[in-house]
Structure 1
């Protein structure tokens, strides 16, 4: 559920994809790459690009949207 709410296509990605989802979402929310790398403990931006930068899809949660509106 959290992956889906994060914009991850859950038919393609599983719970093992949480780290990718977190850093991909951070990138999509304009968190600087240097900050993402520091939090993840990476020294090479290529590590993020190769293994963790995943495409996100927007998933609307109608129930949530109605309750929080």
Structure 2
């Protein structure tokens, strides 16, 4: 599905979707508590360590998958 959406599969994998989704939610000012509850995390450190990633410029995975 990612390939069909135009995502560069040499740069991104299916595992990129979760971190992109929660990073995009944070960038859109969704409260961390809401992100954690939706993802089923009990520790904010899980989000901060594994999933809080800087979003890249327009045209990358977040635009292809989450737009």
Which structure has the greater CA radius of gyration?
1
TM-score by length of 2: 0.68
Equivalenced residue count is 56
Unaligned runs of 5+ in 2: 60-67
Between Structure 1 and Structure 2, the one with more helix by share is: 1
Give me the CA root mean square deviation.
2.3
The 4+ residue runs of structure 1 with deviation greater than 4 A are: 1-4, 9-12
TM-score by length of 1: 0.67
Higher relative contact order (CA 8 A, sep 6+): 2
Unaligned runs of 5+ in 1: 61-69
1:14 corresponds in structure 2 to 13
